[in-house]
């Protein structure tokens, strides 16, 4: 179904009426509240509600999406249908247009209050390349990798919105196994291009969320940069996994793209051999044909294809809850680094420079092994939209600041 909004120039902006992502914004002197992106504007849902134009059960005059996310799929669908009506019917234009604010005039905030944060490791190309870098003589994949989506818990308190400065972390690292570890600023600061989904509807302790119930619980998708201090991470990770090498910062995009906006992006995920255990089987295509791009200082260095991910989002959710762990509203599940099979599809510098062995040349002629102070890393993604054009998942961006003494 192709519909066109009366909002000028919105159709080909990536933020047409077939998208309608949710975010939280504020203006100086005003309280944060929920808005939806349309073209170059934010539609102020709190103002629409105050004018009696949409249903609102205390969802929108809020500094996070969590209240609306817990309302569930029927409420999400109803609000989307009503916003589509308001934004396409010229008869509503006079009432709605005053509630549009140029996006350039607002501060976009972190859209969700994060409950728990889980990070997966679901790209076969990323896991294979990483394995080759660190275990050149062995099997690049650990024995469990094709049987379950490997994951760990990250720090939810350091999930920041796009644009938050990233201060280079300090910590312990040991570069020479014959010497004692040293303390200092991270020498191998990296990004990881990821896509995450956000739980809206909780589940009860002791229950499982089967793959078929994914859309009943999940509100939408965001872009994620899981900043990584490789030298700190490598030294600390045995035997319990990453800790300080990740916990200093994770950035998320400002806009949450609802599942309903991604219908045209759904594709079959790659074939899985061996066949996964029954609780991980999917009946519907839940691969997502998202095209990512990663930029350093506004120069594209990589284009990871999300459609290549081995484990799909419903499989990740079913796995994370198979032990009865409940979902809470605001749980964030990130995909792990998205990498494709080609060199220019790798989603982190660890892969792009072979852990600092090979320089990555940027279009401006400069070279990187890892990130330098002052570098700005930006990730963007687009997907097929219902209108035949492409929707934009916005961007997640961050600039590296020097370590504090």
Q: Which residues are catalytic?
A: 126
Q: Is 206 in the site for its own copies (CB under 8 A)?
A: yes
- What single string gives the DSSP state of each residue in 255-270? -BEEGGGGGGGEEPPP
Q: Which lies closer to its own copies via its Cβ, residue 363 or residue 402?
A: 402
Q: CA 181 to CA 187: how far, in whole Å?
A: 13
Q: CA 122 to CA 309: how far, in whole Å?
A: 6
Q: How far is the CB of 336 from its own copies (least distance, A)?
A: 9
Q: Which lies closer to its own copies via its Cβ, residue 254 or residue 319?
A: 319
Residue from 154, 196, 210, 314 binding its own copies (CB under 8 A): 154
Residue from 325, 356, 376, 389 binding its own copies (CB under 8 A): 325
* Contact indicator for 380, 368 with CB cutoff of 8 Å: no
In terms of DSSP bridges, do strands 376-384 and 166-167 run parallel, antiparallel, or are they unpaired?
unpaired
What is the greatest pairwise CA distance in the chain?
75
Q: Is 389 in the site for its own copies (CB under 8 A)?
A: no
Q: Which lies closer to its own copies via its Cβ, residue 32 or residue 169?
A: 169
Q: How far is the CB of 72 from its own copies (least distance, A)?
A: 19
Residue from 323, 357, 364, 365 binding its own copies (CB under 8 A): 323
Q: How long, in residues, is the chain?
A: 405
Q: Is 142 in the site for its own copies (CB under 8 A)?
A: yes
Burial 280-299 (b: 16+ CB within 10 A, else e): bebeeebbbbbbbbbbbbee
Q: Is 343 in the site for its own copies (CB under 8 A)?
A: no
Tokens of 38: 């349309």
Q: CA 383 to CA 360: how far, in whole Å?
A: 27
Phi/psi at 195 (5° precision): -125, 135
Q: How far is the CB of 196 from its own copies (least distance, A)?
A: 16
Q: Is 6 in the site for its own copies (CB under 8 A)?
A: no
Scan residues 19-78 and list those touching its own copies (CB under 8 A).
none
* Contact indicator for 257, 19 with CB cutoff of 8 Å: yes
Q: Which lies closer to its own copies via its Cβ, residue 29 or residue 274?
A: 274
Residue from 53, 101, 133, 167 binding its own copies (CB under 8 A): 167
Scan residues 102-121 and list those touching its own copies (CB under 8 A).
115-116, 118, 121
Residue from 161, 171, 196, 385 binding its own copies (CB under 8 A): 171
H-assigned helices in 322-391: 349-352
H-assigned helices in 111-200: 124-134
Q: CA 73 to CA 284: how far, in whole Å?
A: 18
Nearest Cα residue to 150 out of 331, 308, 337, 307: 337
Q: CA 380 to CA 167: how far, in whole Å?
A: 22
Radius of gyration for the alpha carbons in the chain, expressed in angstroms and rounded: 21
Q: Is 181 in the site for its own copies (CB under 8 A)?
A: yes
Q: Which lies closer to its own copies via its Cβ, residue 52 or residue 180?
A: 180
Q: Which lies closer to its own copies via its Cβ, residue 91 or residue 181?
A: 181
The residue with tokens 């294809």 is 305
Q: Which lies closer to its own copies via its Cβ, residue 93 or residue 155?
A: 155
Scan residues 224-283 and list those touching its own copies (CB under 8 A).
229, 232, 235-244, 247-248, 274, 277-279
Residue from 156, 297, 376, 389 binding its own copies (CB under 8 A): 156
Chain residues that interact with its own copies, rule: CB under 8 A: 115-116, 118, 121, 142-144, 147-148, 150-158, 160, 167, 169-172, 174, 177, 180-183, 205-207, 229, 232, 235-244, 247-248, 274, 277-279, 319-320, 322-328, 331, 404
């Amino acid at each position: 179904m192709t519909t066109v909004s009366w909002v000028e120039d919105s159709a080909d902006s990536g933020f047409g009426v077939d998208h309608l992502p949710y975010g939280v914004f504020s203006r100086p002197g005003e309280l944060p509240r929920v808005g939806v992106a349309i073209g170059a504007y934010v539609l102020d849902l709190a103002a629409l509600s105050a004018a009696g134009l949409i249903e609102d059960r205390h969802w929108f005059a809020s500094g996070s999406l969590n209240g609306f996310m817990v309302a569930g799929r029927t409420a999400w669908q109803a609000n989307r249908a009503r916003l589509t009506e308001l934004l396409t019917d010229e008869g509503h234009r006079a009432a709605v247009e005053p509630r549009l604010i140029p996006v350039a005039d607002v501060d976009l905030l972190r859209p969700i209050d994060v409950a728990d944060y889980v990070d997966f490791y679901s790209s076969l190309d990323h896991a294979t390349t990483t394995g080759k870098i660190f275990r050149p003589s062995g099997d690049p994949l650990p024995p469990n990798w094709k049987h379950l989506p490997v994951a760990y818990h990250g720090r939810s308190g350091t999930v920041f919105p796009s644009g938050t400065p990233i201060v280079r972390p300090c910590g312990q690292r040991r570069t020479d196994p014959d010497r004692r570890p040293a303390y200092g600023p991270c020498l191998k600061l990296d990004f990881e291009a990821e896509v995450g989904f956000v739980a809206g509807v909780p589940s009860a302790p002791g229950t499982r969320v089967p793959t078929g119930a994914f859309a009943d619980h999940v509100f939408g998708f965001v872009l994620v940069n899981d900043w990584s201090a490789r030298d700190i991470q490598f030294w600390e990770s045995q035997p319990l996994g990453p800790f300080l090498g990740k916990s200093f910062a994770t950035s998320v995009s400002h806009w949450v793209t609802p599942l309903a906006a991604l219908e045209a992006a759904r594709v079959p995920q790659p074939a899985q051999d061996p066949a996964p255990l029954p609780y991980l089987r999917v009946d519907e295509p839940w691969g997502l044909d998202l095209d990512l791009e990663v930029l350093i200082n506004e120069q594209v260095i990589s284009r990871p294809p999300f459609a290549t991910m081995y484990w799909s989002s419903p499989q990740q959710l079913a796995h994370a809850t198979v032990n009865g762990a409940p979902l809470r509203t605001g749980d964030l599940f990130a995909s792990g680094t998205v990498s494709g099979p080609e060199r220019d599809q790798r989603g982190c510098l660890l892969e792009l420079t072979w852990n600092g062995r090979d320089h990555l040349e940027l279009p401006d002629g400069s070279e990187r092994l890892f990130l330098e102070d002052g570098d700005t890393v930006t990730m963007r993604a687009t997907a097929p939209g219902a209108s035949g054009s492409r929707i934009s998942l916005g961007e997640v961006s961050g600039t590296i600041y020097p370590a504090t003494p």
